[in-house]
Structure 1
Amino acid sequence: MTIQISRRMMLAGLFSSAALPAARPALADGPTTKIRPRHRPEGLMERMENGGYPTINMLLERNKISGHSAFALAALSDGQILEGHEAHQPLPPASVAKTLTTLYALDTLGPEYRFTTRLLGTGPMEGGKLVGDLILAGGGDPDFDTDNLGELAAGLKAAGVTEVTGKFFYYGHSLPEARLIDIEQPAHVAYNPGVSGLNLNYNRVHFEWKKVAGKWAITMDARAGKYRPDVTIASMALADRTGPIFTYNDRNGHDEWTVAESALGTADGARWLPVRRPAAYTAEVFQTLARAYGIVLDTPEEMRDLPVDAFQLASYQSRPLSKVIKEMLYYSTNLTAEIIGLTASVARGVAPTSLRDSAQAMSVWAKQAFGLTEVSMVDHSGLEDDSRISTADLVTMLASRQAQDQLRPLLKDINLRKAGKVIDKNRPMTVQAKTGTLNFVSGLAGYVVGPDGTAMAFAVLSGDIEIRKTLPMEQRERPPGGRPWLARARNLQQDLIERWGGVYGTG
């Protein structure tokens, strides 16, 4: 359904509660009494009807996006819907889902929450000797990297430990573990790694190839800013074939990769690959770093439950959750979204066994917290296309006081463009929003402030699920027709924002 202002609708009171769809509750934190039509600037309807701003149908026809395109716009001053099209059509949100995950995590954990990674001992200290086992225990930190792990190794040395007589264990079961986020993604994409309570380098391994004496030399390492230790839990072999570019095999707890030698080209290069066993990967790297401090550890072994008598030897704390989330929203980091969502569910006593369990708990919370009716999430990042939410629900959430206070300050500025190409820094509107992109799915949701200072919440989702279903695995990273479709979807988003700023933000 399209909601578009005309003179007749204005006179009928579009902005009264009676003009909204009967099954739709008022936006969260909006007035509970009937609202009178707000005064509109003189000449508004004439500008719209005389073509000063394109109509909704004109914009949809101009961009010709296959599948569904839905959007909704609401005023922050009173929470009322200003404009919408298929606003109650649930669609995949892609990374726009991270806005919901942000509010779920902040509401549960608080902005000052910190993830803690610990080194624990199980026996007495005799001089510099730990007479017992050493345990590397993860607390879910999604930003933990090799340099941080090096700090933890230094902390162990500073605690006086020079030798460990027992075994070396790692523990990643503070959160449910998953080998990947979405099984329908290509195996080699780094944005679809394993998930664990013990993570490292966003659960990616660095694959590099260089020509040495006319032959390719390849390495797999866990590099960060200071350290770059080689790893064995992930290996790469060259293959004499034209395609596929990569193959993956899970063999005896190791990630075995092959790459088509012909795909390496003629120049040196590198890329990140996903790690499927993050906790074991982290433990192997720690073993290497500890050795650099003179502490020799046994081969890492997995631990399912922490012993009650374990004591802390060293620890590393993450940045506050609000800063972790701000960076997640900027870079759209899928692992971070899954971790903070899982951590929130565990803190609420949900005891999820999978990403889907936790995401469903988040959906229930969203319905209770904001009165949403068209939300059903299967992950926290939006990577799976089975998640659904309507733009009406998104705008309801965004217009809430909670979202305005907690989410809005964390969103990045979105640059508007002139003629769809060059950034127009003189545009008298500001936009803070979260983008979302999958093949044949595109979204943008957040806040727009018009030239006169009118603040509005908006959400735009487009998706062609039928095309997505037909894509073979080898085409899912760069599908035919994907880029032109995405360009049209993004053009629609900008066209709508320009319309809204002109129609509702020029008093």
Structure 2
Amino acid sequence: MRSIRSISAPVLLAAALVMSGCASLGPDVSAPPEPVEAALRQAGVPVSSLAAVAFPLDAPGTGLRLNADRPMAPASTMKTLTAVVALDRLGPNSRGQTQLLAAGEVRDGRLEAPLILKGGGDADLDWAALWAMLREVRERHGIRELAGGIVVDRGLFTPARLDIGAPPFDEQPEFPYNVIPDALHLNGSLLRYDLWADDRGLTVRPFPQFGALAIDTSAVRLNDKPCKDWEGAWQPPRFEALPEGGGRLVLAGEFPRGCQVSQSLNVLDRQWGTAQALRQLWGELGGALTGDIREGATPEGARVLAQHLDRPLAELLRPVMKSSDNALARLLFLRLGASVAQPGEDTRQAAARAVREWFSARNVDATGLVLDNGSGLSRTERATAQQLAALLEASARGAHGPELLAALPVAGVDGTLSRRMKGTAAEARARMKTGTLRDVVALAGYVPDSSGKTWIVVAIVNDTQAMKARPAIDALVDWVARR
């Protein structure tokens, strides 16, 4: 008689599935493992709302497949798709850049032609980086006066301003997770605001304070709710550009009395904010700006005066995956599209084409795959559990699998999994991307079993009670980790 240790992982899995009510290892198993099914029953979520795939990396033809080919809303597990394809197509050392260019000659410290601020999908362009670039122009190149003004070139992506006219995803379009990036992406299109309230009312101070921005809080009512719930009665602010270059920010809703909050928000028109920052920073460096600041294209023959590079792609994936940074994922999706786009082609469509070509090259069926912005913050994006599992398998076998693995949250340790699966067999071992939207919860990643073999696990629940089903997909991960 063979010892338990000599029995292969597929045989053990087959036995476990039989004991849990799964009669076969076919592509559509009739029931999930018993712990998962029990958690679904407790959540009031039918098994039909769950799509799941789980198999050992060294035995991809075995394992659990439940509704595996059903297109599902994947939420942020879609970021794994953007990450894997970007790593392969752009390379782990790919870097976005921002450039300051001159479209003419400098005479006696005066630049007659425009200075060009050209966005290149730089994820790390903050206020300090812009200041350093302007200082280089001022001191290394001896430019004192910008007589031709400044042209802001956001044309790397088509259309250049996806944020203009875009319907809000939800009722909080001004919060960081909802930012729609463009090629410049200055400071993430965010400005920090310090808000505090006493019995007299709400006071708001932006940081840094660029330009003539007036903040009107007269419509904000004070309440006695806990400070942690300050967003509950908050209403989206309204920005108005004023004559002579000023701006007015109108706040509304309610704010807790005695509360103090620091929050980054996307509430200013980004071109207005960019112009204010450029004017103020250039002036602080002792420069003069006699021309206007406008959006436009970089002229032929413009030469680079200063350049800023963001972190390599493999490093940028850490906040994308561990913190589920939507704006950064969208930016990388657009960078992917820009790398393959034909002249005039919509950058998002080019990115979707690159993804489908990647799938085709690896013989992965893309039927039912719907791509929007690559972040999962979408009501239209769809993927099957089998597609995400095939993606993860290809990544693990490819040249850049270690980069993806290092970026994924670790169960019970960090990122969006820091508080989940503690005390389970998966704690500090499973590395998985989470996904959460209204009516969606999901996990996708790698889970070592008790013998140390790596499994690929994908689980997606689409249901009106999906949030209650999170323990069920955690139970699936724990079940695999105990095999």
Per the normalisation by structure 1, the TM-score is 0.77
Distance 1:251 1:362, change over 3 A: farther
SS in 2 for 1:434: strand
Q: Which residue of 2 aligns with 1:174?
A: 156
Q: CA deviation at 1:385?
A: 1.6
Deviations 1:140-159 (A, max 9, x none): 11232112112212222232
- Counterparts of residues 467-478 of structure 1 (less than 5 Å): 467=464
Q: CA deviation at 1:384?
A: 0.8
Q: How far, CA to CA, are the matches of 2:14 and 2:375 in structure 1? A: 43
Indicate conservation of the 8 Å contact 1:92/1:386, yes or no. yes
- The code of the aligned residue for 2:76 comes to S
Deviations 1:409-431 (A, max 9, x none): 322212289xx978338867711
Aligned pair 1:164/2:133, yes or no?
Answer: no
- Counterparts of residues 45-64 of structure 1 (less than 5 Å): 45=16, 48=19, 54=34, 56-64=36-44
Aligned pair 1:457/2:449, yes or no?
Answer: no
Q: Which residue of 2 aligns with 1:220?
A: 206
Deviations 1:201-248 (A, max 9, x none): 221122222358945332233xxxxxx233557955431558962244
Q: Which residue of 2 aligns with 1:26?
A: none
Q: Which residue of 1 aligns with 2:180?
A: 194
Q: Which residue of 2 aligns with 1:10?
A: none
Percent pairwise identity: 22
Aligned pair 1:343/2:335, yes or no?
Answer: yes
Q: Which moved more, 1:446-455 or 1:211-220?
A: 211-220
Deviations 1:403-455 (A, max 9, x none): 735522322212289xx978338867711111111122111100000121111
SS in 1 for 2:71: coil
Q: CA deviation at 1:355?
A: 6.4
Distance 1:493 1:349, change over 3 A: same
Provide the alpha-carbon RMSD of the alignment: 3.4
Q: How far, CA to CA, are the matches of 2:285 and 2:198 in structure 1? A: 31
Q: CA deviation at 1:496?
A: 0.5
- The code of the aligned residue for 2:434 comes to T
SS in 1 for 2:255: helix
Q: Which moved more, 1:249-258 or 1:401-410?
A: 249-258
Aligned pair 1:376/2:370, yes or no?
Answer: yes
Distance 1:255 1:269, change over 3 A: same
- The code of the aligned residue for 2:38 comes to M
Indicate conservation of the 8 Å contact 1:71/1:458, yes or no. yes
Q: Which residue of 1 aligns with 2:60?
A: 79
Aligned pair 1:409/2:406, yes or no?
Answer: yes
Deviations 1:262-287 (A, max 9, x none): 32432232322225643543342132
Q: Which residue of 2 aligns with 1:365?
A: 357
Q: Which residue of 2 aligns with 1:110?
A: 91
Indicate conservation of the 8 Å contact 1:154/1:293, yes or no. yes
- The code of the aligned residue for 1:462 comes to V
Q: Which moved more, 1:249-258 or 1:397-406?
A: 249-258
SS in 2 for 1:325: helix
Aligned pair 1:398/2:409, yes or no?
Answer: no
Distance 1:49 1:421, change over 3 A: closer
Q: CA deviation at 1:129?
A: 2.6
Per the normalisation by structure 2, the TM-score is 0.80
Q: Which residue of 2 aligns with 1:387?
A: 381
Indicate conservation of the 8 Å contact 1:233/1:281, yes or no. no
Q: Which residue of 1 aligns with 2:27?
A: none
SS in 1 for 2:55: strand
Indicate conservation of the 8 Å contact 1:398/1:446, yes or no. yes
Q: How far, CA to CA, are the matches of 2:198 and 2:216 in structure 1? A: 17
- Counterparts of residues 4-43 of structure 1 (less than 5 Å): 40-41=11-12
Q: How far, CA to CA, are the matches of 1:98 and 1:252 in structure 2? A: 35
Provide structure 2 residue ranges, at least 5 long, that are not aligned to the other structure.
1-7, 23-32, 223-231
Q: CA deviation at 1:341?
A: 0.9
Aligned pair 1:150/2:121, yes or no?
Answer: no
Distance 1:341 1:193, change over 3 A: same
SS in 1 for 2:11: coil
Q: How far, CA to CA, are the matches of 1:379 and 1:121 in structure 2? A: 33
SS in 2 for 1:92: coil
Q: How far, CA to CA, are the matches of 2:45 and 2:101 in structure 1? A: 55
Indicate conservation of the 8 Å contact 1:356/1:378, yes or no. yes
Aligned pair 1:68/2:49, yes or no?
Answer: yes
Q: Which residue of 1 aligns with 2:477?
A: 497
Q: Which moved more, 1:208-217 or 1:303-312?
A: 208-217
Aligned pair 1:183/2:163, yes or no?
Answer: no
SS in 1 for 2:288: coil
Indicate conservation of the 8 Å contact 1:146/1:201, yes or no. yes
Q: CA deviation at 1:106?
A: 1.6
Aligned pair 1:271/2:263, yes or no?
Answer: yes
Q: CA deviation at 1:500?
A: 1.4
Q: How far, CA to CA, are the matches of 2:402 and 2:36 in structure 1? A: 31
Q: Which moved more, 1:424-433 or 1:154-163?
A: 424-433
Q: Which residue of 1 aligns with 2:76?
A: 95
Q: Which residue of 2 aligns with 1:21?
A: none
Indicate conservation of the 8 Å contact 1:198/1:282, yes or no. no
Distance 1:82 1:216, change over 3 A: same
Q: Which residue of 2 aligns with 1:260?
A: 252
Q: How far, CA to CA, are the matches of 1:361 and 1:312 in structure 2? A: 32
SS in 2 for 1:387: coil
- The code of the aligned residue for 2:104 comes to G
Among 218, 235, 238, the alignment partner of 1:246 is 235
- Counterparts of residues 119-134 of structure 1 (less than 5 Å): 119-134=100-115
SS in 2 for 1:286: helix
Total equivalences in the alignment: 439
Indicate conservation of the 8 Å contact 1:248/1:255, yes or no. no
Deviations 1:95-138 (A, max 9, x none): 11111001221222111111111111122122333232211111
Among 287, 291, 310, the alignment partner of 2:279 is 287
Q: CA deviation at 1:388?
A: 0.4
Q: How far, CA to CA, are the matches of 1:38 and 1:211 in structure 2? A: 61
SS in 1 for 2:192: strand
Among 117, 120, 130, the alignment partner of 1:136 is 117
Indicate conservation of the 8 Å contact 1:429/1:501, yes or no. no
